[in-house]
A and B are shown apart, each in its own frame.
Chain A
Amino acid sequence: AQTVTQSQPEMSVQEAETVTLSCTYDTSESDYYLFWYKQPPSRQMILVIRQEAYKQQNATENRFSVNFQKAAKSFSLKISDSQLGDAAMYFCAYRREYGNKLVFGAGTILRVKS
């Protein structure tokens, strides 16, 4: 069975600085998808960024980028120029290539200090 591990329960970053959230996963499959979701307090969880395992290039969405290391089974999220609105719980998730359900990590609370 696939597992996802987020080893940082909480992280803090100063506004305008850069922070990296860690995620590792375990799978025996070669093709799959990885995701980072963000859940602000009492609001809907939204997709931040997605990575297809067959793509070597790291995904980027504006200030959000990932460092995908397939051999190491590592999928970290880098947030550049952090803003107060980035404060949220961040979940790393895995999905099989031909599957529907997501396998999540335990989440990392990100606090942004002004």
Chain B
Amino acid sequence: EAGVTQFPSHSVIEKGQTVTLRCDPISGHDNLYWYRRVMGKEIKFLLHFVKESKQDESGMPNNRFLAERTGGTYSTLKVQPAELEDSGVYFCASSQDLGQVMNTEAFFGQGTRLTVV
């Protein structure tokens, strides 16, 4: 079974440009999460999808970030326009939705390293 896959693995863009990160969750996982680790600090939650709906987007830093999950399968995270402080590693994770069973494990991708210069 394929794990969580993220594209690209590494992206270098100039300030002001646009970048789109993609995440393919494990097939059948309704929950999809985006996290970000900036400059060696802690990994921080960005948002959570349940199927195609945004369940919690409290971690999104500002309106330059747009996440979508059309059709409830893969997700994209677009940064437009990118700023220097957006540099970091963006992680995607997915988990099953088992109703009242809340201790489902989250499976992570390898991350996308974004460098804004």
Contacts and interface: CB of A to CB of B under 8 A. Distances in A.
A102 B45 contact: yes
B92 to A, nearest CB: 10
Interface in B55-93: 55-56, 59, 91
Interface stretch (A11-19, A37-45, A66-74): A37-45
A100 B95 contact: yes
A92 to B, nearest CB: 10
B43 interface: yes
Contact of A45 (B31, B48, B59, B91): B91
B108 A106 contact: no
Q: Which of A37, A45, A91 has the most CB of B within 10 A?
A: A45
A99 B102 contact: yes
Given A44-B3, A45-B91, A52-B103, A101 B33 contact: yes
Nearest to A52: B103
A100 B42 contact: no
Contacts of A43: 110
Interface string A76-114: 000000000000000101000111111111110000000
Interface of A: 4, 9, 33, 37, 39, 42-47, 50, 52, 91, 93, 97-107
* 4 nearest A-B pairs in the assembled complex, by CB-CB distance: A104-B43, A45-B108, A101-B45, A106-B42
